[in-house]
Structure formats: structure tokens, C-alpha cells
Amino acid sequence: MTYEDIKYETDGRLAFITLNRPEKLNALSNNLRGEMIHAMKEAEATPEVGVIILRSEGRAFSAGYDLQTREASPDSQYVHPRSLLPDAGSTHPGPMEWARHVTQTNWVIWELAKPVVAQVHGYCLAGGTELATICDFRIVAEDAQIGYPPVRAMTTMDMIWSPWHLPMAKAREFAYIGDSFSGAKMTELGWANYAIPADDLATFTEGFARRMANVDNDMLMYSKRAVNRQYEVMGIRTGLWSGTEIQGLSSYRPAAAEFSTRMKEEGLKAALEWRDGPFKDFRGAYDSAPQNRPVAASHSSKPGSSGYGA
């Protein structure tokens, strides 16, 4: 197997899948996600492997979906040849299908026969939070920054996981404002299993995974399935699917085109500075960011052109 945007290796009972676009803060392009899902299935089918660790190179777990170079090459063997999206079922023709597609792709990890441990450091934003959340466990650096800034100006969360993992008040805060929470705080709130000093994160995560890997594969599979089915009875599938429809509606509001218009006319960095400026964090912390900009309003561009979401 030859991967371009991830690394895949095994060591005894563990498989390691490493997101490997550090120069892009591991932005989730279609090819990267396709390779990741392929590697997940490879680990699932390997009898010697019991537990999968998902981690990243560089200074971020993932800054979210790639808003610039998300399209995969037609020659990529890891995406569907018609849609150029990771093959998770439907080819998702038609407008405003992005949230449905990424949620359906994440269900592949949910249904995987083996547990996946997300090792989270640095920035874990937007689609990066969705990827980490669908894993079975999250072990985070204490100083990691977990947030969803696209809700400030783009669309609602593509996969509305926050009500399932956070207390109601904090779920609303996360989903309405987009501010980041530290890894330590997210562990306190129950999203992550452990918050570890960044220098010790890899060692701790591997130790946690190896301890779990002492359990046989079939037992781990049935334990994962038993827990998953309880959440499904409580409505998690219906809830997340419903969220994808709301995301589509949010992309048609009058101000929805403002971000994408700015990105096309001024570039991605300028659009991010505009989005985050009043909040004075992420790209809004730069001196060039418009920290006193007016609230986004209706734009002359066609509503709904905000496209892929976060």
C-alpha cells in the first residue's frame, strides 16, 4: 500500500494511522480521508491487530476539512471514481450534501470491528473534532485547543456531536459561539478520557491502547457493538442525520455566502481573519484581522454557496 497523506504501520497488537499533512495542519482533504478509511479497514482485517491509534504529524491533530484543495485526484484509488469522495455508500449527488457525506463516512469508524483511540494534540477544530469524536476514545494533550469556529459565519456543525458528549449548557456554547476549550477542560466535561502533558501524550496513549489490546478481538468487537447499540436506541443516528439537514438549511440563510465570497475574492486567510476577527482568536488574533467588523449580512452572491461547511 502506498499512501500520500497518511502513514500506516503496525506494532504487535496495535495499528497506527497518522495524518500526514503537517504543512496544512492536517486539513482533511478527500484523499486524506479516503486513505484513512482504507487504512482503518486494513487494520480491521488484520487478525494480529486489536486496537487502532489515530494520530497526526506536526502541530495540529486537524484544523478541519480542507477548504482549498479538498478534491482528490481522479487517479486516487482511495475515493469513488465518480464522486471523488471517500466511498462510504452514496455518491451524494446534488447540492448541500457535504454534511451528510462526512457523517456517513464517520459511521464507518463507528461500525469498525476494532476500537479506535484518537491521540489529540494542538489544534483540533471543526471537522477535526468530528473525526476525533467518532473514535471510541480520546486522549488529549492538556493544552490542545478543541473548537468549532465555522459556526461563527459559515454553517452549523456538519456532525452535531456536542449534545451527545457535553452538558447541555456547554454543548450550546460549543455549537453557538465556536470558541475553543483546552484539552484539560474537554476532559473535565467528559468529551475526552484523559488529558496528559503534551510531552507524555504519545507514551500514555500507546500504553492505554496496549492495555486494552490484551482483550481478544472478538470480545472487543462485541463490547464496542453493545455500547454503540445503546446509543443508537437513544437516537444518536437519528440525531446526527437530522443535524446534517439543518446544516444544509443553514447554508441557505441570507448571510451564508459572505465567507465563501471573501475566500474567493481575498483568499482563505483573509476570510478566516474576517470570520474570527471579533472573537480575537485563531486567525482573528492577527493585527490584520477586522476585529470590529459588522455582523455578516445578506450578500449579492447566490445563497448556499458556502459549500462544504467546516
pLDDT of residue 310: 54
Q: Calculate mean pLDDT across residues 104-115.
A: 97
Query: Which long-range contacts does 260-267 make (Cβ < 8 Å, 24+ apart)?
Result: 260/301, 260/305, 260/306, 260/307, 261/299, 261/301, 261/305, 263/67
299: pLDDT strictly greater than 60: no
CATH code of the domain occupying 6-247: 3.90.226.10
Between 94 and 130, the more confident residue is 130
pLDDT over 70 percentage in the chain: 95
- Mean pLDDT lowest for which of 13-17, 84-88, 136-140, 274-278? 84-88
Q: Give the full edge-to-edge strand order of the sheet including 123-125.
A: 60-62, 123-125, 145-147, 181-182
How many residues are listed for the chain in this entry? Answer: 310
pLDDT over 90 percentage in the chain: 84
Nearest to 86 by CA among 33, 45, 46: 33
pLDDT of residue 276: 95
Confidence class of residue 296 from pLDDT cuts 50, 70 and 90? confident
Q: How far apart are CA 53 and CA 40, in angstroms?
A: 10
pLDDT of residue 78: 87
Taking CA atoms, 126 is separated from 26, 299, 307, 309, in Å, by 12, 24, 15, 9
Q: Calculate mean pLDDT across residues 188-206.
A: 98
Cell of 71: 478534491
Between 89 and 307, the more confident residue is 89
Confidence class of residue 87 from pLDDT cuts 50, 70 and 90? confident
Q: How far apart are CA 201 and CA 199, in angstroms?
A: 6
Between 85 and 45, the more confident residue is 45
Confidence class of residue 124 from pLDDT cuts 50, 70 and 90? very high
pLDDT of residue 186: 98
185: pLDDT strictly greater than 50: yes
Nearest to 76 by CA among 68, 67, 85: 85
Confidence class of residue 302 from pLDDT cuts 50, 70 and 90? very low
Q: Which residues pair with 11 in a beta bridge?
A: 14
- Mean pLDDT lowest for which of 18-22, 58-62, 83-87, 117-121? 83-87
Amino acid in position 3: Y
CB atoms within 10 A of CB 264: 13
Q: Encode pLDDT of 262-276 as tens digits.
A: 999 999 999 999 999
Q: How far apart are CA 217 and CA 165, in angstroms?
A: 26
pLDDT of residue 295: 92
pLDDT of residue 301: 44
Between 67 and 179, the more confident residue is 179
Q: How far apart are CA 176 and CA 189, in angstroms?
A: 17
